[in-house]
Amino acid sequence: MAKLVKKPRKNGYKLPDPLPLGEILEDINKKKWILGPSIGKGGFGEIYSAREYTESSKPSKQYPYVIKIEPHANGPLFVEMHFYMRNAKPDEVDAFRLSKKMHHFGMPKYIASGSHQHDKQKYRFLVMEKFGSDIWKLFLENNRKFPPVTVFKLGIQILDVLEYIHSKGYVHADIKGANILLGEDSKNPKQVYLVDFGLASHFSSLLKPDPKKAHNGTIEYTSRDAHLGVQTRRGDLEILAYNLIQWLGCRLPWEENLDPASVQNSKNQYMNDIEQFLKTCFKNEKVPKTVANILKYITSLEVGDTPDYEHLRKILADGIKAESGS
């Protein structure tokens, strides 16, 4: 009988064959990890629950980590691994958190990574902290609408992470509910974490279109700069803004459109007329000043400007106060 060949996904990447429960992986520092059950598949690879392994390890069903695995020929996990190794060292993440006087911070920390061979197939893997459910799932469970206070608090937490990433010279480029996870920390269950750095890249301070990278990201949230193939800090803020509008219960005008060029044109038109954009989104509901002020600020930024994160946090904090009646 002919052996089935795993077909590449529509995105051009091949999903890995499943690895067996209990498979032991060794990272670049010779530390060993044992795989638990698979907990999901992404566009490029598979994610397993995992724990540290030593020869004296007792059998356990506790898996405090996850391991993301993809075939060695794929690219996104390679990008993500190197982003974590360069920019998510635990001491650097903690130093930034302390410098900003934050009790909690939604930037995941680098733990370990490496390569693994199984049945003549070579894989790369990344060990990550284990988080809870994603915001997109909660959004759907809440009939596609969060209370404004929740949305503005999410905005502040993601903004904190973007400031950190940008300070390292990078942009995330794929901010969306599916990439924002709840923490498992029972002391602070309302903290969220921005994950999936497979599209992270150095930001540009020049608007030099690159057709090869045009429209990168998730089409409904992709920034106008990213539609041109240019990754910018203001672009990350624009992506976040589209998410905030959607989380408030609105349908983005281009949401059902799958044609990248058409979506790009729609965004250009609406972002050139913010008042009309928000009227279209919120229909008969009152447009939150918070969202209008954020969009106005984003459109005021030049391509190479360093965003004023504190100003944006204040806009969101004022929105929380207004909604809370305090």
Range 135-324: architecture per CATH:
Orthogonal Bundle (1.10)
Which of 285, 302, 272 is closest to 245 using CA atoms?
285
For residue 138, the model assigns a pLDDT of: 97
Q: Which pLDDT belongs to residue 8? A: 45
CATH architecture of the domain covering 24-129: 2-Layer Sandwich (3.30)
Output the pLDDT for position 186: 57
Interval 83-107: pLDDT, tens: 999 999 999 999 999 999 999 999 9
**In which residue ranges of the chain is CATH 1.10.510.10 found?**
135-324
To 10 degrees, what angle do helices 148-167 and 289-300 make? 20
What is the spatial distance between Cα 80 and Cα 197, in angstroms, rounded to a whole number?
Answer: 5
**CATH 3.30.200.20 location in the chain:** 24-129
CB atoms within 10 A of CB 153: 19
Instruction: Looking at 133-232, list the stretches that DSSP marks H as alpha helix, in order from N- to C-terminal side.
Output: 135-141, 148-167, 224-227
Tell me, what's the pLDDT at 73? 84
Q: Are 230 and 208 in contact (CB under 8 A)?
A: yes
As a whole number of angstroms, the distance between CA 284 and CA 287 comes to 9
d(CA 90, CA 76): 22
Q: Nearest-CA neighbor of 145 among 220, 253, 246?
A: 246
Give the C-alpha separation, 309 to 298, whole Å: 11
Q: What is the pLDDT of residue 312?
A: 98
Residues assigned a catalytic role: 174
Task: Give how far Cα 142 sits from Cα of 91, 104, 254, 323, Å.
Answer: 37, 25, 22, 19
Looking at the DSSP bridge assignments, the partners of residue 79 are none
Please list the ranges in the chain whose pLDDT falls under 70. 1-14, 43, 185-189, 326
Q: pTM (2 decimals)?
A: 0.92
Tens of pLDDT, residues 118-159: 998 999 999 999 999 999 999 999 999 999 999 999 999 999
Amino acid at 326: S
The Cα-based distances of 27 to 15, 34, 83, 91, 92 in angstroms read 21, 11, 17, 20, 21
68 is in an annotated binding site: yes
pLDDT score for 75? 78
pLDDT of residue 2: 40
**Whole-number Cα distances in Å, 152 to 29, 194, 296, 317:** 40, 15, 16, 7
Q: List the one residue out of 273, 294, 280 whose CA is nearest residue 251.
A: 280
Distance (Å, whole) CA 319 – CA 127: 37
Number of H helices, E strands in the chain: 10, 10
